Chain A
Amino acid sequence: MEQIMEQMPVVLHSLNIGFIQTLKLFFVTLIGAFPLGLLMSIGSTSRIKPLSWFIKLLIWIIRGTPLMIQLLIIYYFPGLVLHNPIWGGGETGRFLAASFSFILNYSCYFSEIYRGGIQGVPVGQEEAGLVLGMTKTQIFFKIKLLQVIKRIVPPMSNEIITLVKDTSLARIIALQEIIWAGQAFMKGSQGISGAIWPLFFTAVYYLIFNGILTLLLGRLEKKLDYFR
């Protein structure tokens, strides 16, 4: 116990740096995947057949393979097969590749949630819009979208909380997120070696952050409760 207290400042410092990477990946993924998922859901329900087929094929591939493999393919494939390492080897390159993989992956899941939300809005809503002389676009943004948002908050919350924990997969391409930082002390880093507790301690970070997210998402759900 005494030893842990001694190691604490060094370990916390390096876990904090790792957690900032985790948070960066988390927020970049959300910012990218929210709009891209919406575009994909519109595309997958589009009347232009090749477009909807393409998006359905993409969703099948992305949802049907592990994110860990996607990270490896997206990061290493350009250099290994095309001999053109587009991401570069530095930390920025790894972060970009991880962001790209996560945005692509989560867009596919989000698009299915959006699709469920959009198709769940009663037909009468659209008909009412048409009677009022609104265009399809107007109907979507002015009538349907808010109802869609209300419907998708619970399933989205689920995905968002999963995303927090999924960011740890990015360590496979050596993105130094918090799990990486915790594990470093087992092998030896900054004069501390053979310490296992920092790895377990990372769970506290996830737990606290997910606690905050759960509270915020719960409040959002309540706010949207005024219309049914």
Chain B
Amino acid sequence: MKRKMISMFLAAAMVVSVTASVFAAEESDKAYVQDKGTLVIGITDFAPMDYKEEGSDEWVGFDADMAKAFGKSLGVEVEFVEIDWDNKIMELDGKTIDCVWNGMTLTDEVTSSMECSNAYCKNAQVVVVPSDKAEEYQDTDSLSGLTFAVEAGSAGEAEVSNLGLEYTPVKAQADALMEVSAYTSDAAVIDLLMAAAMIGEGTGYEGLTHTVELNSEEYGVGFRKGSDLAEALNEFFVTSYEDGSMMECAEKYGVQDAVVEQK
């Protein structure tokens, strides 16, 4: 009898402690991270946002460098962890990471399941043409009749085929640029961020420029639902935009054209 009582008591205690922890008053996520001393950032290998230079073990890139600065402003260490992109929400809610900062497009799926920062970068599918012809091609109507090179299976291919334009699918975005500079195609469609980093002055494709944006998407940073870190990051973005450190960092990785004004 006594044993039964004890086991019942233990079972009850367990139920209470589990429910108590489930319904524990939501403490501030910022306090939680500062208390822990590390901000764990979920990333994937994605140049120029988060990547490693050959032979180096340190994560660098526009996102990685901004994340380091944000960590410093919170007074915590940052730790980068490569995650399986499909599991990012589970990683956040399971507290195995504290944020997702990896050139993440703010889609409905993302904004409904995470607490997102303001958009800090815009991305788009842009048309790349030789600089000397750029003036002729400033709107979608002017594009008919051109032959395009696009990466097979990319968002760019989808845009071009939606518009009913003639195109050649190539293996990679870099190959599409090569087509244009070799005049085998009239124009290419690639990511804006990629275009910012790879064409124009001081790059391997100095004679190319980008013109029309066919669609647009925005990048944001994701935190746990209800986290006050998103607000803290928005404030950090504003200060670093105002003091110029954000642009300086963007220029280092060639994404300055994509940065969204923070206010």
* A and B part of one assembly: yes
User: Hey, which bits of chain A sit against chain B, CB under 8 A?
Assistant: 10, 72, 75-85, 87-91, 93-94, 171-174, 176, 184, 187-191, 193-194
A80/B54 in contact, CB under 8 A:
no
Closest CB in chain B relative to A8 CB, distance in Å: 14
Q: Which of A10, A79, A171, A187 contacts B95 (CB 8 A)?
A: A79
Q: Is the CB of B87 within 8 A of A174?
A: yes
- Set of chain A residues within 8 Å of B40, measured between Cβ atoms: 89-90
Q: B84 at the A/B interface (Cβ < 8 Å)?
A: yes
Asked if B18 is at the interface of the complex by the 8 Å CB criterion, the answer is yes
In the assembled complex, B136 has its CB within 8 A of some CB on chain A: no
B45 at the interface (CB under 8 A from A): yes
* Alpha-carbon gap, A75 to B97, bound state (A): 12
Interface string of B78-99 (1 = CB under 8 A from A): 0101111001001101111110
Known contacts A89-B95, A188-B46, A84 near B21 by CB under 8 Å: yes
Interface positions of B from 214 to 263, Cβ below 8 Å from A: none
Distance (whole angstroms) from the CB of A199 to the closest CB of chain B:
15
Among residues 162 to 199 in chain B, which have CB atoms less than 8 Å away from a CB atom of chain A? 171-172
Are B21 and A174 in contact, with the CB atoms below 8 A? Answer: no
A80-B93, A89-B98, A93-B96 given; name 14 further pairs at CB < 8 Å: A76-B90, A76-B96, A78-B94, A79-B96, A80-B90, A82-B18, A83-B95, A90-B40, A173-B87, A174-B83, A174-B87, A174-B91, A189-B45, A191-B47
Closest to B86 in A: A172
Asked if A187 and B44 make an inter-chain contact with CB atoms under 8 angstroms apart, the answer reads: yes
Contact indicator B54/A191 (Cβ below 8 Å): yes
Chain B positions 32-57 with a Cβ under 8 Å from a chain A Cβ: 40, 42, 44-47, 51-52, 54
In Å, the complex CA distance between A208 and B93 comes to: 40
Q: Is B6 an interface residue (CB 8 A)?
A: no
Check if B5 is an interface residue, CB within 8 A of chain A: no
Nearest-Cβ distance from residue B121 to partner chain A, whole angstroms? 18
6 contacts between A and B (CB under 8 A): A79-B95, A83-B24, A173-B84, A184-B45, A190-B54, A191-B54
B18 and A79 form a contact (CB under 8 A): no
Expressed in whole angstroms, the Cα–Cα distance for A65 and B22 within the complex equals 26
Q: Tell me whether B24 and A188 are in contact (CB under 8 A).
A: no
B96 x A176 contact (CB < 8 A): no
Q: How far is the CA of A88 from the CA of B90 in the complex (A)?
A: 14
